[in-house]
Amino acid sequence: MGVVEEGGSLGLIFGNDYLRGKVRAAGFYYSSAKTARTVDLFESEGLINFYPLQYFRKGKAALDIYLVGGVTMDNIKFYGHYLVDDKAVVNYSVTSEPYLVKLTQISATGGIGLEYHLPMEFDFVHLFAEAKYGKPFQASTNNESFKNTTISYLSSLSVGVSFGIIR
């Protein structure tokens, strides 16, 4: 089943012009209207952004490219009527789908990003877009019927803003 998720995340960025660490402590996503079933995602990440062009330029540029790598932990909750053959009690007259299972998955993540620096003296506001791909290396579930369930083709496209104070 293909799933498209929408949502947002909060985190912390620290580092310098060459390397920046990102801790995305709380990412909350829900399945879009184009997804046939309800799938909720809570995501936490530890990432490193590497800015290779900084080694070749003097001063700051308005537009920057970066490589991103790290580890992502996803807690994915599935809702729906998947277990009809497994003698699950199904009440199709309710308006919301029943909770089925939580899948916890840890993935190695890599990707590329583009960042635009708004011109300011001490404060920073950066607009970014990044594309990432994840390869799961550990997965567990709280329902035996879904023990072989994994998420494949973990890809994401994020667009957002980061802001703060440079010291």
32-52: buried (b, 16+ CB within 10 Å) or exposed (e) per residue?
eeeeeebbbbbbbbebebebe
Of residues 96 and 75, the one with the higher pLDDT is 75
- pTM recorded for the entire structure: 0.81
Check whether 31 has a pLDDT greater than 60. Answer: yes
Q: Are 66 and 53 in contact (CB under 8 A)?
A: no
Q: List the CATH number of the domain containing 68.
A: 2.40.160
Each as own residue / partner, the long-range contacts of residues 90-94 (CB below 8 Å, 24 or more positions apart, any chain) are none
Query: 87: domain range?
Result: 5-165
Percent of the chain with pLDDT over 70: 87
Provide the sign of the torsion angle of the four alpha carbons 2, 22, 165, 113, taken in this order.
Answer: negative
Q: Are 163 and 126 in contact (CB under 8 A)?
A: yes
Which DSSP helix (H) or strand (E) runs through 69? strand 63-79
User: What pLDDT does 119 receive?
Assistant: 77
Q: How many domains does the chain have?
A: 1
Count of other CB atoms within 10 angstroms of residue 31: 19
Tens digits of residue pLDDT in 89-130 = 455 555 677 888 899 999 999 999 999 988 776 667 889 999
